[in-house]
Chain A
Amino acid sequence: MGKITSFLQPEDQAANAAMLQRGHVIQAVENRDGLDAIRDLAAHAAARHLGVSPPNDPERFLNGIGEHVDATTLNDLRISVINALRSEDWFRPTYFSLAREALFKIVGNEIAMQRGVGLSVQLPNDDSSLLPVHADTWDGDSPYEVVVWVPLVDCFRTKAMYLLTPDKQTAHLKTMASNNSAETFFKSIEDDVEYISIDYGNVLIFRLDLPHGNRVNTETEARWSMNCRFKSVLTPFADKQLGEFFEPIIIRPATKVGMTYELPGGFGGAGQ
């Protein structure tokens, strides 16, 4: 390698620029077989819940889930599917493997992971399960976290989530308190949000301090996406604490030594 002039590799600098300037990164998942296994399990669990045959084409089945459920029965289906995923001991390590190297560049290589991966299902034209505009830092998360957001189907236009771009964040937050409701605040930022188009097979990592959410999905297909928060183990936690919400998944040996190290004691006794 010879002499170099920067501590950061080009890929580190690219990650810095993407997160600080655009607020997000989209890349191909680092474990495609793992993603397919997650999607197939989700589709099979949904079929089992509905009492229909396991689908030959999981993506088509998930996109068309609105043929089987409506807004009143959707949440039971969602809970059934997420319980099926969470019951598999390979699920969380596999989820992490979808963006492992990217997380090392963005949050560090000693990592805490959200204990319960979230699942969102948004039927076409359903306004009953929308996430209003929010930054996770307003919901008890610390700004040291990022969200790893994984679509199980292609997401685009209103089938996707939106994110306020970082360059517009400061100005909008200055006037936020003058809005009466979350909806009026959304109207005030609507022109500056970006709907994040992302195809199945890719992962989105975004800053949770940036206002984001979703609107009524006016596409003809349902959105299925998973979300999970990651942070460096040794950065501050907010309301969502280690243990109840986060679990350390990687702690390096030097940290393990340091956490248990004690200086020799016994000085200052009678023999001194």
Chain B
Amino acid sequence: MIDRHGYRGYIGSRAYFGQRAPQHVQNLVIRDYCQRNGFTYLLSATEYAMEDCFMILEDVINEALKLEGVVFYTLNMLPRDKARRYEICSAFLDAGCTIHGAVENACAKSLEEYENLENLWSVRRLSEQADTIIQQLAATPEFLS
């Protein structure tokens, strides 16, 4: 029997989909999410600022067997690459560690439930592309006349 305790917060200093929040605000959101769900909140791990770097998240994966769950400030912090995203999430779930997004108020306890998070991601990505298309249209008046 593995002795698991608590939910590890995960915050960062990069902008995610163009949005950033101060770290103390990220922690407040995670703490509130944990309180509302009756989770024991463990001090957040703070990802390095370098783009596409997930070295701190890898450390959290390495302690996943001791955790009940990991709470991302937002699921948008997951890698943009789908395969890498799946690799990270399945590593947590295989270790019996649930995955949570505090901003999205969403969680996955199994690979089946992870599909729901992946759908959220896909829609988010799609909306980003739609924004780009709208901006291109707006910059091309002949399409709007």
B-contacting residues of A (Cβ < 8 Å)? 72, 75, 116, 128-129, 132, 134, 137-140, 177, 179-183, 185, 238-241, 244-245
CB interface residues, B 50-72, toward A, < 8 Å: 50, 53, 55-56, 58-59, 61-62
Return chain A residues, CB-CB under 8 Å to B50.
138
Contact A182-B42, Cβ < 8 Å, known A139-B13, A244-B22:
no
Contact B46 A241, beta carbon cutoff 8 Å: no
Cβ of B130 within 8 Å of any chain A Cβ, yes or no, is: no
Contact A245 B22, beta carbon cutoff 8 Å: yes
Measured between C-beta atoms, what is the minimum distance from B45 to chain A in Å?
Answer: 7
Contact B42 A181, beta carbon cutoff 8 Å: no
In the A-B complex, list the 9 residue pairs whose CB atoms are closest, starting with the nearest. Answer: A140-B13, A181-B58, A138-B48, A239-B13, A244-B22, A182-B55, A182-B59, A138-B49, A181-B59
Return chain B residues, CB-CB under 8 Å to A116.
24
Contact A72 B40, beta carbon cutoff 8 Å: yes
Measured between C-beta atoms, what is the minimum distance from A145 to chain B in Å?
Answer: 14
Return chain A residues, CB-CB under 8 Å to B42.
75, 128
Cβ of B116 within 8 Å of any chain A Cβ, yes or no, is: no
Beyond known contacts A139-B13, A139-B23, A139-B48: 8 more, CB 8 A cutoff: A72-B6, A128-B42, A139-B49, A181-B58, A182-B59, A240-B13, A244-B22, A245-B24
CB pairs A–B below 8 angstroms (24 shown): A75-B42, A128-B42, A129-B43, A132-B56, A132-B59, A134-B48, A138-B50, A139-B23, A139-B46, A139-B49, A140-B49, A181-B55, A181-B56, A181-B62, A182-B48, A183-B58, A183-B59, A183-B62, A239-B13, A239-B22, A239-B23, A239-B49, A240-B13, A240-B23
Cβ of B20 within 8 Å of any chain A Cβ, yes or no, is: yes
Contact A75 B43, beta carbon cutoff 8 Å: yes
Interface centre among A128, A129, A240 (most CB of B within 10 A): A128
Return chain B residues, CB-CB under 8 Å to A177.
53
Return chain B residues, CB-CB under 8 Å to A238.
13
Measured between C-beta atoms, what is the minimum distance from A64 to chain B in Å?
Answer: 22
Measured between C-beta atoms, what is the minimum distance from A247 to chain B in Å?
Answer: 14
CA A122 – CA B38 in complex, angstroms? Answer: 25
Return chain A residues, CB-CB under 8 Å to B61.
181
CA A134 – CA B58 in complex, angstroms? Answer: 14
Cβ of B5 within 8 Å of any chain A Cβ, yes or no, is: yes
Return chain B residues, CB-CB under 8 Å to A129.
43
Measured between C-beta atoms, what is the minimum distance from A271 to chain B in Å?
Answer: 43
Interface centre among A132, A137, A181, A182 (most CB of B within 10 A): A182
Return chain B residues, CB-CB under 8 Å to A134.
46, 48, 56
The contact of A185 among B22, B43, B49, B55, by CB within 8 Å, is B55
Return chain A residues, CB-CB under 8 Å to B46.
134, 139
Measured between C-beta atoms, what is the minimum distance from B35 to chain A in Å?
Answer: 13
Return chain A residues, CB-CB under 8 Å to B13.
139-140, 238-240
CA A75 – CA B42 in complex, angstroms? Answer: 8
Chain A, residue nearest B41 (CB): A75
One digit per residue, 1 when the CB lies within 8 angstroms of any chain A CB and 0 when it does not, for chain B 88-120 equals: 000000000000000000000000000000000
CB interface residues, B 1-35, toward A, < 8 Å: 5-6, 13, 20, 22-24
